[in-house]
Each structure stands twice: as C-alpha cells, then as structure tokens.
Amino acid sequence: MIDEMEPAPKGTDYDLYFGPAHPGSGNFGVKLKVAGEIVVSARADPGYLHRGFEKLMEYRTPIQNAVLSDRLCVLEPLNWNLVHAEAVDELMDIDVPERAKYIRVIMAELSRIQSHIIWYGVFSLGTGFDTGFKMAFGYRDYILDLFELITGGRVYPAGYICPGGVRRDFPNGARDKILKVLDKMGEMIKLEELENPALGARAKGVGILKVKDAIRLGATGPVLRGSGMKTDVRKDELYEIYDRLDFEVPVRKEGDAYARYWIGIEEMKQSIKIIKQALKELPEGEVIDPSWKKPKLSVKIPKGEVYVRNEVARGEAAVYMVGDGGSKPYRCKIRGPDFLHMIPVLEYLLKGAQIADVPAIYWSLNICPADMDR
C-alpha cells in the first residue's frame, strides 16, 4: 500500500498567512514567503481595525474628544488621554493646578504598569510558558479595581484626564489602597524575576536589532533601549512634573527579544518608585482650572499649532493639533509608536528567521494593532 502512494512534490517554497484568526497572533496579518523552515520575506497587511480617528476628531468639540481619546489604544487608555489633554492645554493656554499634575502622573504610571503586565503575559504565552499568562491576568485585576474606585470604569475611564486638569478628586481611602496595591505588584515582580530556563533558551539571541538600524527604521521606546541607546521622552522633555522626580532608565546592549522583555520588568520597578514619591509630595488644592469646571459645550480654539510628545508604554506618542478659530480642531494628527514597529521593524526582523521563532519576535515588540490603524 505504501508503494502505491505518489511521491511528495518537489520544491519547498510556499506562502503562509499568519493572520488574525490564528490563536497565536493579534488583530493583524503578515504574509510570509517560506522556504523549508526559514522565512525568506515578510509583508505586513494592516487595516483590520481602521476607523479614521483623525477625521472623527474634527467633528467633535474638545470635551467630546477627551472621551474618544481613551479608545486610541485599548491596552493603555490613560496615557493617551494625557497626550490629548496636554495638546489642548498648550493650544488654548490653560494653567493646570499643581495637584492635578501630580494626580495625572500617578494615573499614567499605574496605566503603564498595567500595560507591561499584559506584555509579560502574552510574551510568556507566545513562548509556551502558560503559567505566566494566567498569573499575569490574575494580578492585573488589582489595578483595574483601583481604576474603578477612582475613575468609574474598569477599562475605559470616560475622559478622566481632560483639558484643564482631572475630572474629580481622589475619594477617601484611595491613598492607602494605592499603597497596598503597590505592595502586591512588588510581590508579583519577585515571582517574575525567577528565571524560567525554557523562556530564556527560546528568547535569547533571537530577533537581534542593532542601534543604527533601529534609528533608521524609526523605533522608539523599549525597542530602542533594548538595542543600546539611552533615551526616554520623560527625561528629554521634562513635561508635567518629571523634573522633580528621581528615577532611572534601564538600557541593554544585546538587542534581542530577551533584552526587551527584561526592560519591561525593570520599567515596572521604576514606575512603582515614581508613584511612591508622587504620593508623598501630593499638595492640596483644586484639581481643575475654575473656568473648565462645568463642561463647556462650545469653546473657541485660537489660531495656532502645537506638537506635543509623550512617552507611552510602547514608545513615543505625539499629537499635532491645528486650530483656526472655530469650536472644533481643524486638524489633529496622531503619531503612534506601533505604526513604525509593526511595519518596517517587523518586516526587517522576520527576514531570515525560523518559523518557530516567529511568535517570540512578534510579541517581544509589544504590539497594539488599534494604535497602528487608528
């Protein structure tokens, strides 16, 4: 019977679509050309989540845009809220009170910790370490309960950080709860640092990116720091109150998937340090500029333009806003870090890699397809 079967076809080249319905990938497709076990070339296929955000913002006033800006990237909503609010503050020349600046930084750093927990969880899932995935999503719920106490929503805070300050003050007892949650996070980081040898063997030496290539392809954030360049927008442009806080910026030289994963864990430790310092120095006072206390339905945006840069968990985010005297912004361009990481950097790294290494490289770049398509 075996002798009657036809021989296998010659040639080992075929096309493979690593797409959104695959259980190991996000909402994003990559077309791979494979020869044997080695990927010859890759081409990205985005557009599954394109809503046309920039033009939706032209039909809405700044208060309505503050609620819409949570949904730019679902995995870190408060950081994007902060970028948009800073752009409107600078364009309309609003003074933000001191207590509001401290609260903004505390909420943004909590959101950064929550985003890195998700990164740790899905990276372990991609390399076959399932316990890390379940543990990460178990610990993430402490922070979501804290968000619900302070802002009212588990995932989307409904425009908590708005132009002029923040929407409402901390309730009673919030400060002690935040300190308890930070102790739990410290416990989780101690567990994460115990190195699993299988994870190390699958992630070291895979997907190497050198510094010159990283700058040429436009990488920012942990991807650039994993290749050896020491730069962070929080230290280059001292926005909000980052000039009074003391923290470090972790850097590695190797540029492989393991270096980027290690940087994620170190950044969580630095965020805990920042929140403790900010809570100690929190001053009393108002939380919003008095003229913005009652939400205004129609405001007049003066003529001018601004460009605001911030550091979100994935890299450098920026908003370019143009005003022309009406009540709605004339043009609002959003620059996200994932637009560069998922198209040029991924196509460059997947060339020459083995098929079994594709999930480790893909998830080590910390992708968020909603941020790329907007």
Q: Which of 124, 143, 200 lies closest to 364, judged by CA? A: 124
∠ Cα 340 371 209 (to 5°): 30
Quote the least distance from Cβ 121 to another protein, whole Å. Answer: 8
Residue with tokens 């998700």: 118
Q: What is the DSSP string of 167-221?
A: SS---TTHHHHHHHHHHHHHHHHHHHHSPPHHHHHHHTTSS---HHHHHHHT--T
Tell me whether residue 217 or residue 272 sits nearer to another protein (CB atom): 217
Nearest to 262 by CA among 192, 198, 213: 192
Residue 139 Cβ, how far from another protein at the closest point, in Å? 9
Q: Provide the 3-class DSSP secondary structure of residue 64.
A: helix
What gap in Å lies between CA 144 and CA 246, rounded to an integer? 26
Nearer to another protein, 140 or 296 (CB): 140
Angle between helices 77-92 and 98-126 (to 10 degrees): 150
In degrees and rounded to multiples of 5, residue 91 shows phi and psi of -70, -40
> Which residues of this protein are in contact with another protein, per CB under 8 A?
19-21, 23, 27, 46-52, 54-56, 59, 68, 71, 74-75, 134-135, 137-138, 140-141, 154-156, 215-218, 220, 229, 231, 236-237, 305, 307, 309, 316, 318, 320, 322, 330-331, 333, 335, 339-340, 343-344, 348, 368-370, 373
Q: Whole-number minimum distance, CB 4 to another protein, in Å? A: 30
Closest distance to another protein from the beta carbon of 202 (Å): 20
CA distance 54 to 292: 24
Write the CB contacts of 119 (distance below 8 Å, at least 6 apart in sequence): 264, 313, 363, 366
Q: Which is nearer to another protein, 299 or 318 (CB)?
A: 318
The residue (of 114 and 271) whose beta carbon lies closer to another protein is: 114
Rounded to an integer, what distance in angstroms lies between the CA atom of residue 340 and that of residue 174?
38
Which of 90, 286 has the CB closer to another protein? 90
Q: How far is the CB of 120 from another protein (least distance, A)?
A: 13
User: At its nearest, how many Å lie between another protein and the CB of residue 44?
Assistant: 9
What distance in Å separates the CA atoms of residue 147 and residue 80, rounded to the nearest whole number? 15
> Residue 278 or 342: which CB sits closer to another protein?
342
C-alpha span between 279 and 8 (Å, rounded): 68
Q: 113: which 2 tokens?
A: 């910790």
CB of 147 to another protein, least distance (A): 12
Report the distance separating Cα 308 and Cα 327, nearest Å: 20
Least Å distance, CB 259 to another protein, is 20
- Residue 111 to residues 54, 106, 129, 164: CA-CA distances in angstroms? 23, 9, 24, 20
For another protein, give the closer residue by CB, 134 or 175.
134
Min dist. Cβ of residue 49 to another protein (A):
6
Nearer to another protein, 51 or 175 (CB): 51
Instruction: Pick the closer one to another protein by CB: 170 or 320.
Output: 320
CB of 370 to another protein, least distance (A): 4
Strand ranges of the sheet holding 304-312, from the earlier edge strand across to the other edge: 304-312, 315-323, 331-335
Is the CB of 96 or the CB of 217 nearer to another protein? 217
